[in-house]
Amino acid sequence: MLEGKLINLRVLEKEDLPFFAEWINKPEFYGEHNPLRQVSRTEIEKTFEKTALELKNFVVEKKDGSKIGFVCHFTLTHPVGKLLEIGYSLIPSERGKGYCTEAVQIMVDYLFLSRDVIRVQACTDTRNVASQRVLEKAGFKKEGLMRKYFFLRGGFRDAYLYSILREEWKDPKIIAGRPDRQG
């Protein structure tokens, strides 16, 4: 369990798959800026067991234990190396309360503390202002525009690529990384 101030991140377990399936099959969960998808429990279970993307999902839980969404990291294999990317989504009733920003900050801390990586990246539809705001508040920088990057809702959409470099992150923001760190 990775503990934040407002929320905690807990690795998604097999027992979580029923509510996870329910979330991701509801069009409003991913919202208007993400691909519309319908996934069977069998497919979700297969992805959980084995994935080429090295995908790992964490459930975002409030301090009272209620489950409000997920944040994930996955690896994209590129000819010159591997790229570490994150994704996230919250149930509509829990948005706009700062929870996702903290979930992303915890994930970034976790990845830089646990892996020998120089950058963590994320990409988002150019119209997804809430997602861009989350990334900027968590210290990511916009790298550029990727034209016609996603197929969404019947059309191709442009996306922004964001990243945070290890030297920009410097120190954990949420996870207590040093014994002398307060709060």
Ligand X SMILES: CC(C)(COP(=O)(O)OP(=O)(O)OC[C@H]1O[C@@H](n2cnc3c(N)ncnc32)[C@H](O)[C@@H]1OP(=O)(O)O)[C@@H](O)C(=O)NCCC(=O)NCCS
Q: Where on the chain is the footprint of ligand X (CB under 6 A)?
A: 30-31, 33-34, 87-90, 95-101, 124, 128-131, 133-134
Query: Which CB atom, from 88 or from 112, has the smaller least distance to ligand X?
Result: 88
Secondary structure (3-state) at 112 = helix
Q: How far is the CB of 112 from ligand X (least distance, A)?
A: 20
Which residues face 78 on adjacent strands?
81
CA 121 to chain centre: 10
Nearest-10 Cα torsion for 54, 168, 108, 33 = -80
> ∠ CA 154-132-74 to the nearest 5 degrees?
75
Residue 58: its H or E element: strand 56-62
Residue 52 in tokens: 């080429």
CB distance 117 to 180 below 8 Å: no
Q: How far is the CB of 94 from ligand X (least distance, A)?
A: 7
Closest residue to ligand X, based on beta-carbon distance: 100
Q: How far is the CB of 174 from ligand X (least distance, A)?
A: 13
CA dist., res. 82 & res. 134, Å (int): 24
The DSSP bridge pattern shows strands 141-152 and 119-125 to be: unpaired
Q: How far is the CB of 105 from ligand X (least distance, A)?
A: 10
Q: How far is the CB of 166 from ligand X (least distance, A)?
A: 22
